[in-house]
Structure 1
Amino acid sequence: MADLEALAERVRAAIPLTRHLAFRYTGFDGDTLTLTAPLAPNHNDKGTFFAGSQVALLTLAGWSCTTLIAEAVIAGTDRPDRAVDVVAVDGAQQYRLPLEADITVTASPAPDQRDRFAERLSRRGKATLKVHARATNPAGDTVCEYQGLYLARLAD
């Protein structure tokens, strides 16, 4: 099981903006990552969840999901001590509804992506992963959808 609190601390130390989002990882089942964030520090002038905060959280969820999967792949190789560096390559989001409450974001690899990603990362030392993320309100309605492409590469 991934140490989500350690990952959150790593993220907050490396990316100062994330400290202001007040996000919290709530789960990772080996495939899907879930995080939450409150409305209070992320609202806009209309009292709804700021679009910039939403896309930051969706991008972060995709990066985090890719990082956790890549680290699990590397842990199963003959060099489990190698560090993995993940970067966002591309992303697009669509806002569906205004959000007047806290947000929940789930992110997971696109269908049929994980095995190819694991094989290429193990063999080549780098691989891309398409990730789908969805932001929902407390009722479970989709407020924003996101698709991102992430590159993972092994550090020397």
Structure 2
Amino acid sequence: MSKLALFQDRINEEIPLSQALGIRLLSWDGHALLLSAPLAQNRNHQGTGFGGSVYSAAVTAAWGLTELALSDLGLRGAVVVQSGNIDYVAPVDQDFYVICRLPGGEIPAKFRKSLARHGKGRLDLTAEVFCGEPTPEPLGRPVAVFQGRFVVKDVHSKVTPHAAR
């Protein structure tokens, strides 16, 4: 079973909402994660994409990219979203897909140093949502853009919280 297929199973098990939304991981090249979701399972009362579903797919793409990038580096950590914002630019009127890329194509050196030194790092990511047939190089403009900050805590770290002053 491929790494991506194993990760799909993990997401379905650990994040049950991803299965309900029909999220499918399509590709991971070490720099970008591409996933898709069907409109039928994610529509609102107007027949377009439900905002919460679109947001959830975008968060899943960014979280998944972080997890996969750490794994590629041989690192493990607890990944959580600290903050997130999405701009809905146009209606999601058909099946959609999300692309999340590492900034500059790789995990930033500042993040790696912070994780090594402090046992915790923050990663700012952007995930773009598009309608239509999934492709890693979309020609059109995104219908939604998610920006989020993810915190990774090294699971082996002995860092303790600062005492209250």
Counterpart in the other structure of 2:114: 120
Contact 1:67/1:152, CA 8 A, preserved across alignment: no
Question: Cα distance, 1:113 vs. partner?
Answer: 5.8
Contact 1:109/1:131, CA 8 A, preserved across alignment: yes
Does residue 4 (structure 1) correspond to residue 7 (structure 2)? The answer is no
Counting matched residue pairs gives 148
Structure 2 residue runs of 5 or longer lacking an equivalent are: 133-138, 157-165
Counterpart in the other structure of 1:95: 88
Q: 1:68 to 1:38 in 2, by over 3 A?
A: same
Moved beyond 6 Å, runs of 4+: none
Contact 2:121/2:152, CA 8 A, preserved across alignment: yes
Q: Give the % identical residues.
A: 30
Structure 1 residue runs of 5 or longer lacking an equivalent are: none
Q: Which one of the candidate residues 75, 81, 100 is aligned to 1:107?
A: 100
1:13-69 per-residue CA deviation (whole Å, 9 max, x = no partner) reads 112211111111111111111101111111111111111100000011111111111
* In structure 1, C-alpha distance between the alignment counterparts of 2:122 and 2:71, rounded to whole Å: 14
* TM-score, length-scaled by structure 2: 0.82
The structure with the larger Rg is: 2
Counterpart in the other structure of 1:53: 53
Contact 2:98/2:129, CA 8 A, preserved across alignment: yes
Matched residue SS, 2:143? strand
Counterpart in the other structure of 1:21: 21
